[in-house]
Structure 1
């Protein structure tokens, strides 16, 4: 397996290995898992991907999430990211599917609004536009290491509240349905996630974050905004231009990402599997003690 660096201090393309190899071979899985821990974003090109292969690959890294209520793919292990309606045509710009695609253009990490956050996401390109529609990534691990040491120490014992409805309200007030709001109450997570394999910390934030535990609302929002700005500063991202057969896997503990716009009349279909974090991934140290007691 060849590892080709792509981004500024993170992200790599893996050559000479397929999703099927990882699903069926222990040595291939061990090599890819080590690359995942080191590089955070992994690109696999030229994959002959199917739902079955993608799910088998994902299961090697941990339990796959069941897709939440209100999403395309609800109840399965697949999140369908599409702006193609039931009639096979691209939906208009004010359609709910288009608005949800716009919400994914906010910087975020997947599933920080859930009771069990995500270790990793695996996204495969099924139908891609002729131009645009890239996915952009930043390393919140590299961003954390750039911070002033005093701020790093402060963040180690700070907690932020995450809410799915908060991020969706930035696009449209009712984009999160009543069913989604009921199923996805706010969650409070530590603002630094330390990787148990290599001991490196990463800022754990997203567009879902709206408040800091124990801080006045305005001060907490200011801190969140400043950290988001620092993590997404110009020149720190890897922009992935999709090709047919691409699969990208990323570490939700150590990155944020966002989709980029594409021509509104062009179809785009992507399929995502999301792998839940477990105690081995450090999730047991992430919850605020007050919220653990409440649960």
Structure 2
């Protein structure tokens, strides 16, 4: 029993409805011995913080692989750099949409399960990453609002996210956005576990069958509800921090920071395991 207690994952809750700080050291995390506990804790808390763990890129990939199926963005299975440095071209332009609340992989049949972000270079101002728990937000919704949105669907598209960055795009730019597939998704995701979460964010263009302004009003109301303080956590980064979040039950955004700040994060992702339905 003493050995079992010694091997238990050490963590502390950050807020009642969201976030936990994981206190395990790097060798323990890379061993995979805490993988099942980490996955369960991630679903429960939404966001896990690994303070100053300082993973190298290779270690970050190795750690990710202990938790599920690694979903690299690159053919060489390397990490993905995250920056808005203008030298990054179109990729940097698209990354600016991360200043607004969203979840990743809406176009995938099974959205990304989780992402892990590691801080390599920080901006002197801004750059905090914010999260909200969309499981908790659903559970706390007034019953009348639950009845209202049950069965409703919304169209999600890149144009929705990019329009926040470029409100008056050229027609050519709009056509580029429209090349990315759109999807019609339920406003409420009933997971295999039986839990439910809200499916909202800046990719949501309209609620199917609703007047455009009424649709906009509902989406804004749901976003403000889900991102209120009790469901919200903002992470102020230290170099070497790693943060993992449940992409199926949270929204996230980064607070604006100067494009020339040199801020650089690296990210890995876990492949989705459950269709959004």
| TM-score, L = length of structure 2 | 0.84
Q: Which residue of 2 aligns with 1:11?
A: 19
- Cα distance change of structure 1 residues 74 and 220 upon mapping to structure 2, 3 Å threshold: farther
Matches within 5 A, 1:25-104: 25=32, 27-67=33-73, 78-84=79-85, 99-104=93-98
Worse-superposed segment, 217-226 or 133-142: 217-226
Q: CA deviation at 1:246?
A: 0.6
Runs of 5+ consecutive residues of structure 2 not aligned to the other structure: 1-8
User: Secondary structure of 1:117's partner?
Assistant: coil
Q: Determine if the alignment matches structure 1 residue 220 to structure 2 residue 215.
A: yes
Q: Any idea what SS the aligned residue of 2:99 has? A: coil
Q: Is 1:276–2:271 an aligned residue pair?
A: yes
Structure 1 residues 17 and 31 mapped into 2: Cα distance closer, same or farther (>3 Å)? farther
Q: 1:124 aligns with which of 118, 140, 150?
A: 118
How many residue pairs were aligned? 266
Aligned partner of 2:183 in structure 1 is: 187
1:248 aligns with 2:243: yes
1:60 is paired with a residue of what secondary structure?
A: helix
Question: Kindly tell me: are residues 265 and 65 of structure 1, through their superposed partners in 2, closer, same or farther at Cα, counting changes over 3 Å?
Answer: same
RMSD: 2.7
Q: How does 1:121-160 map to 2 (within 5 A)?
A: 121-160=115-154
Shift of 1:248: 0.4
Is residue 195–residue 201 contact of structure 1 (8 Å, CA) maintained in 2?
A: yes
Distance 1:176 1:21 in 2: 47
Alpha-carbon distance between aligned partners in 1 of 2:24 and 2:178, rounded to the nearest angstrom: 43
Q: What TM-score results when the alignment is normalised by the length of structure 1?
A: 0.79
In structure 2, the CA distance between the partners of 1:192 and 1:142, relative to structure 1 (3 Å rule), is same
Q: Which has the larger displacement, 227-236 or 237-246?
A: 227-236
Cα distance in 2 between the residues matched to 1:196 and 1:181: 31
Question: Structure 1 residues 162 and 76, CA, compared in 2 at 3 Å: closer, same or farther?
Answer: farther
1:168–1:176 Cα contact (<8 Å) kept: no
CA contact under 8 A between 2:85 and 2:260: conserved in structure 1? no
Q: Following TM superposition, by how much is the alpha carbon of 1:178 offset from its aligned partner in structure 2, in angstroms?
A: 5.1
Q: Distance in 1 between matches of 2:110 and 2:41?
A: 24
The change in CA–CA distance for 1:155 and 1:42 in structure 2 (over 3 A counts) is: same
User: Quick check: 1:193–1:254 contact (8 Å CA) kept in 2?
Assistant: no
Which 5+ residue runs of structure 1 have no aligned equivalent?
A: 68-72, 288-295
